[in-house]
Amino acid sequence: MICTKCHRRFSEEHQFCPHDGEKLAAGLDIKRIRSKPTERAGEVIAGRYQVRGLLGKGGMAQVFLALDKQTGEPVALKLLDAGSVKQPELRARFLLEAKAAAQITHPAIVRILDVGLRDDGTPWLATEFLFGESLGEWLRRERVMAPPTAIAVLRPIALALGAAHRAGVIHRDVKPDNVLLLGERNAFHDVKLVDFGFARLVGEKGMTQAGVAVGTIEYMAPEQAVSDAPDARTDVYALGVLMFRLLSGRLPFQGRTEPETLAHHLITPAPSPALGSAGLAPGLEAILLRALRKRPDNRYPSMETLVDDLDRVAAGHPPRIALQPPNAPDAYSPVTPFAITAAKFLYKKLGLNPTVI
């Protein structure tokens, strides 16, 4: 049973929503879900998913509202756009999203329901339909999130990423637009991590060529900035940037150009967020600064350890790991020959001597 107002789900023994008193329904009425007109309306994918409207567009795909004719439930149907279909790497990356997300079982990760290819070779995937707005939309409207609410948002994201890491999946694109706040506007009740389009499966040969920085520049860890191999601590760094953005209303690094922003991620120590967030608990600042350390060994070793510190701060205690001194000087050392060359280029972008590498 589902509440048609807040979209919380309950067992069949409930008749009314305990939170807002709304009468529960057996399912969502797709006619009451807002979407934009599309020329694809009425098209049926795989003999099962009937397109009803457009929900949004991404860099290489469109997301449609569709009716699952077998279950009668609305779903989100993601199709690679026509221009990207002709590029083998983008087709492979699209299918990797389904493979990566399907390997993870966690309540805070969007569920992949089905995946396939159309007759013309266009890949598609169907996911559960989620009612809400992205954290990016929320931040563009509200700018700053109160620390208790921020912890409530960060905790499930971190736990979802921890589940992904245990399944051998590195997300590589943790950012506000890939976090969905479920429920009514300004009254969200749950959080979901979405979009594994840039994910990397540990042990699987990567598709990224040397020199191609994968992810979103404002949230890239130093190792991403120079195209070194990512690991779980790469997502820890991105979550630190997201945490900084939530609590301060700004990004820790914003260069005049994209290479300059990458250079700051590689070289410049993270600033204190306190100026943009009055009353920020010292424990929270210590947590995000630990997550934003340049050297991966100096960050949190796992999402679970980060969550443990968040829980301690939420309970009124000082964080445990965040206050520990770094194990080594906090400078990133590039690994591959290409990364060394890239790092030298980025050092020069900030007017620094690259011979220190």
Q: How far is CA 52 from CA 27, 65, 303, in A?
A: 17, 6, 38
Please say whether the beta carbons of 153 and 194 come within 8 A.
no
Distance separating alpha carbons of residues 240 and 227, to the nearest angstrom: 19
Q: Which of 29, 119, 173, 231 is catalytic?
A: 173
SS3 306: helix
Active site residue 120: no
Q: Three-state secondary structure along 137-163?
A: HHHHHHCCCCHHHHHHHHHHHHHHHHH
Long-range CB pairs of 217-222 (<8 Å, 24+ gap) are: 217/258, 217/261, 217/262, 218/175, 218/251, 218/253, 218/254, 218/261, 219/173, 219/174, 219/175, 220/262, 220/265, 221/265, 221/296, 222/265, 222/266, 222/294, 222/332
Q: At what angle do helices 147-166 and 303-314 cross, to 10 degrees?
A: 160
Q: Which of 54, 51, 118, 53 shows the shortest CA–CA distance to 91?
A: 118
**Nearest 10 degrees: Cα torsion 153, 156, 158, 161:** -130
Strand order in the sheet with 44-45: 44-45, 49-57, 61-68, 74-80, 123-128, 112-117
Active-site amino acid positions: 173
